[in-house]
Structure 1
Amino acid sequence: MRSLWTLFLSLACPLAAVTAKSSTGDSVLVVLDPSFERSNFSTFFAGLEERGYDLTFRAPKDAQPAVIENDHAQFSHVILFAPETKTYTQDITPQSLVSLLAKDTNLLIAVGPKQTPLTSLASEFSLILPPPGTPLISHFPERDAPATVIPVEIAASPVLSPDLPPVWFSGVPFALGSSPHIVPLLRAPPQSFAVDSESDSGADALFDAAEKGGEGLWAGSSLGLVAGFQTLTGSRATWVGSVELFSDEYFEKEAEPGVKSGNKQFASEVTAWTFKETNTLRIDSVAHHRVNETLPREMYTINDHVEFEAYISQFDAETSTWEPYPDIEDLQIEFTMLDPHIRTALKPVAGEPGKYGVAFRVPDRHGVFKFVIDHKRRGWSYLQSTTVVPVVPPRHDEYPRFLSPAWPYYAGAISTSIGFVVFSALWLAGDSQEAKKKSTKSE
């Protein structure tokens, strides 16, 4: 019996690995420009299908299948590989793409050197594209490839694996704005530059651009080549300045002699992040109660000792399940009324993976308070939670009978009372003796 069960698991595990999907769904619409052959990206698309995604292809001007129908998104993810298309059908507009993000649909968008509706949409994501016809150029390192085909070293990132081989890139860069929601995934090499010149003339092009006062000149690692954007609702959009980055040619091209480029793995990890396979967290539940109690209260009293707990999990793409996640080291909880009255660390609870907790004393201030978790880190899902609780003063029968700081007043009141009783007793006693003396004299 055990051998049969082992055989079943051995057969089921590979199947589970194949059918692992995104945390939001497995349907993908690929909008592919007719000028691109699907076979040129066969490895990339086959890799998505092997990971369990259901791909549907259409041209930019095709009406079906619709992206949005009856105000509902028809796909979990959309890939736009049409960087030179200037006209789309009515269901693919900058407004509809933004609405897709609001409906928790993720986007992978490739842009090119021509001005299209997608390039104007990029500014809404705090990405600034160079003027049309401005490719990225680099003459270093020396290589047989044209200056516009550049090997790019990958910097450390919470999204990508370390020690990835260089990635081949041929396309346009973009400047990264100041939005905190941008996640840089691939930056331009420090020695590269973009210039509005159709023919690369090396140093002459750079000199001419500098003579224009910097107009048309973009240079250095401040430029982005691939950048992600995560909305407050958790949906993700990734902008890529090159469709060729996903091509079979660049997948098989050697970055160094004997070393294949990292394009294939890079594309896999970028799509895994974009489609919310990786770095996807959620708050399963929160709980609050007084210390030494288990049930939450409808309201708390000032100076109560309260415990707050949060349960956090991460999506595991290999099993398509949510697993407890105990590795957040900088999670915080705020107890706030307009402004935070208490801000403290929400630490992992030993022996209970995925559980974070803290105990604190409610401030000496009554009103409507909130337990607030607002954890935002680049490359990770945002964790946000708000729980409202009233804080009230003690009832008349909840105040302590005696206050230790008031003992001087208690002593004064007691001594005054004792003195009054003694004085009254002495006064009364002295009055009766005088009356007796007068009566004896009169006799």
Structure 2
Amino acid sequence: MSKLIFVFLALIPLLCTSFSPEKPSDRRILVLLDDFAIKSSHSLFFNSLKSRGFDLQFHLADDPKIALQRYGQYLYDALILFSPTIERFGGSIDAAAILDFVDSGHDLIVAADSNASDLIREIATECGVDFDEDPAAVVVDHSAYAVSATEGDHTLIASDDFIKSDVIFGSKKIEAPVLFQGIGHSLNPTNSLVLKVLSASPSAFSANPKSKVTSPPSLTGTSISLVSIIQARNNARILISGSLSLFSNRFFRSGVQKAGSPTKHEKSGNEQFLNELSKWIFHERGHLKAVNVQHHKVGEANEPAIYRINDNLEYSVEVYEWSGTAWEPYVADDVQVQFYMMSPYVLKTLSTDGKGRYFTSFKVPDVYGVFQFKVEYEKLGYTSLSLSKQIPVRPFRHNEYERFIPAAYPYYGASFSMMVGFFIFTAVHLYSK
């Protein structure tokens, strides 16, 4: 009997594990679709994510069972909205829930098209992107369109105006133009976190191609963004595209020739463009972390609980960048540290050994109080670093001051000369007749 009890007690942890709710993966992505046909028509993009280790969960956007979190814990690491026409999400998801998802540090991809609903437009607006208010307007370009057998209305655009950033697109240049067909958007000028990664040409404009243009379009030229990205202050990343077809197999495989260019590319740049951009969106590139923050007096190894004014100290921190498979040393010459109390008293650029370690030394200012070591590092394409470590600084104790300082020698001389003079005066006065 005792043996049976022992076996049962040993199996309890296994039973609890077997029947516990499934835990979300660290690389799980929820994909919400207008139609399951998109799963096959955009399979090349989805397969590229799967090949990099992501677990994609596909649902219709109006599925009543979908949810982003359960028991206060988020079930997914990122969200892809390939449902431009959805008027209302199913389950517990709405615009506020998606924005809270981003505010919690999770990533988001939103793809719209000419039939974009008010719900999708609202989410984009909250992220700092404003689509053209005319629901029938699409981007038209009579100069930078993609050459095809039927010229059409020039809404199929071949764009090669990419943002110049190796950290976002990698070091390999995108040679072929990107095919785009959809709606344009502008960036909210009050939002400094939004960046255009694919812009329209100076000859582009946003209008209804099926009607005559009677008034100046609201969006024209390079002010039109085709694809934009946002990195929030909590390092969550967002991609907003005005074209769902941009991600399609048809555009991935299509050849492209830009009007006015003699070069015809056998394959468009869409696949390379989106694969590289999605690596940035999902933190496979440009993600930094800082570890092993240390400070101590020069010549010592232990971190003190308090510094004294005019102490000489050393500060160091290690910074690494995620390469997609491992953490590698991050090398730069613009990482700075502040010794801060209400305002920076010391600002030093950190030296690096090329292996991820940054270091410097300086003298504690002649001011006592509660200071902070602060590293605030922000660079285009990289996650921001915000480090702070508090340390008090005290003045000299009464027995730590120098007893005789050179600046006081004249006062010492005056005191002793007065004593000698008084002694001579007293002697002369007492012993002279």
Q: CA RMSD in A?
A: 2.0
Q: TM-score, normalised by structure 2?
A: 0.85
Per the alignment, do residues 415 and 200 of structure 1 end up closer, same or farther by CA in structure 2, a change over 3 Å counting?
farther
For 2:169, the equivalent position in structure 1 comes to 160
Unaligned runs of 5+ in 2: 1-24, 258-263
Q: Which residue of 2 aligns with 1:342?
A: 346
2: distance between equivalents of 1:172 and 1:141? 16
Equivalent position amino acid for 1:192 in 2: A
CA distance in 2, matches of 1:259, 1:200: 33
CA separation in 1, counterparts of 2:163 and 2:196?
10
Query: How far, CA to CA, are the matches of 1:104 and 1:220 in structure 2?
Result: 33
1:264-313 deviation digits (Å, cap 9, x = unpaired): 01111111111111000011131111122221111111222222111111
TM-score using structure 1 length: 0.84
The letter for the 2-side match of 1:156 is K
Who is 1:87 aligned against? 88
Aligned letter for 2:181? Answer: S
Q: For each residue in 1:388-430, what CA deviation from the matched residue of structure 2 results, as whole angstroms up to 9, or x when unmatched?
A: 11111111111122222222222222322333334344444x2
The one-letter amino acid paired with 1:347 is: S
Gap change, CA 1:324 and 1:141, over 3 Å in 2 = closer
Match of 2:299? 292
> Between Structure 1 and Structure 2, whose CA radius of gyration is higher?
1
Please state how far the C-alpha of 1:385 moved relative to its aligned partner: 0.6
- Residue identity opposite 2:42 in structure 1: F
- Aligned counterpart in structure 2 of residue 323 of structure 1, from 319, 328, 332: 328
The verdict on how the C-alpha distance between 1:200 and 1:266 changes in structure 2, with shifts beyond 3 A counting, is farther
Q: Secondary structure at the match of 1:46?
A: helix
Give the AA of the match of 1:77: A
CA spacing shift, 1:191–1:198, aligned 2, 3 Å: closer
> Which one scores higher on RCO, CA 8 angstroms, separation ≥ 6?
1
SS of aligned partner of 1:245: helix
After the TM superposition, list the runs of 4 or more consecutive aligned residues in structure 1 that deviate by more than 6 angstroms: none
- Write out aligned runs for 1:19-30 (5 A): 25-30=26-31
Equivalences for 1:121-140 in 2 at 5 Å? 121-131=123-133, 132-140=135-143
SS of residue paired to 1:159: helix
Q: Which runs of 5+ in 1 are unaligned?
A: 1-23, 211-215, 435-443
Match of 1:194 in 2: 206
Query: Following TM superposition, by how much is the alpha carbon of 1:387 offset from its aligned partner in structure 2, in angstroms?
Result: 0.9
CA offset at residue 233 of structure 1?
Answer: 1.8
* Distance in structure 1 (CA, Å) of the matches to 2:340 and 2:404: 31
Cα deviation, residue 200, structure 1: 5.9
Deviates more, 1:142-151 or 1:25-34: 142-151
1:175 is paired with a residue whose SS is strand
Could you tell which deviates more after superposition, 75-84 or 27-36?
A: 27-36
1:151 aligns to what? 158
Partner of 2:223: 222
What amino acid maps onto 1:412 in structure 2?
A: A
Q: Which residue of 2 aligns with 1:439?
A: none
> Partner letter of residue 272 of structure 2?
Q
Please identify, of 110-119 and 264-273, the stretch whose mean Cα deviation from structure 2 is larger. 110-119
Shift of 1:92: 2.1
In structure 2, C-alpha distance between the alignment counterparts of 1:184 and 1:427, rounded to whole Å:
96
Instruction: Choose which of 404, 407, 417 in structure 1 pairs with 2:406.
Output: 404
Residue 193 of structure 2 corresponds to 181
State the SS of the aligned residue for 1:229.
strand
Aligned residue number for residue 281 of structure 1: 288
**Aligned partners of 2:180 and 2:211: how far apart in 1?**
16
- Which residue is 1:18 aligned to? none
CA deviations 1:323-375 (Å, max 9, x no partner) are 221x2221111111112222221232x3x511111112222211111111111
Aligned equivalents of 1:232 and 1:155: distance in 2? 21
The C-alpha deviation readout for 1:116-157, integer Å capped at 9, x for no partner, is 212112222221211122211101136225411100112412
Matches of 1:238 and 1:89, distance apart in 2 = 22
- Percent identity over the alignment is 29
Structure 1 equivalent of residue 215 of structure 2: 209
